[in-house]
Amino acid sequence: DNLYAESMLYQIGGKNNATATAKNAQAVERQVLSKAGVSSDSYKLADGSGLSLYNYITPEAEVLMLKYAYNNKKIFGELCQSLPSAGVDGTLRKRMKNAPVLDNVRAKTGTVTGISSLAGYATSPDGHMLAFCIINQGVMSNSKAHAFQDQVCRAICE
- The per-residue pLDDT for range 100-123, each reduced to its tens digit, is 999 999 999 999 889 999 999 999
Question: Which residues contact residue 70 at a Cβ distance below 8 angstroms, ignoring those fewer than 6 apart?
Answer: 76, 121, 129, 131
- Bridge pairing between strands 115-123 and 105-112: antiparallel
For 129, phi then psi, to 5°, come to -85, 125
Residues of the chain with pLDDT under 70: 1
For 92, phi then psi, to 5°, come to -105, 5
As a whole-number percent, the residues of the chain with pLDDT over 90 amount to 75
Question: Is 0.85 topped by the overall pTM?
Answer: yes
Give residue 48's pLDDT. 84
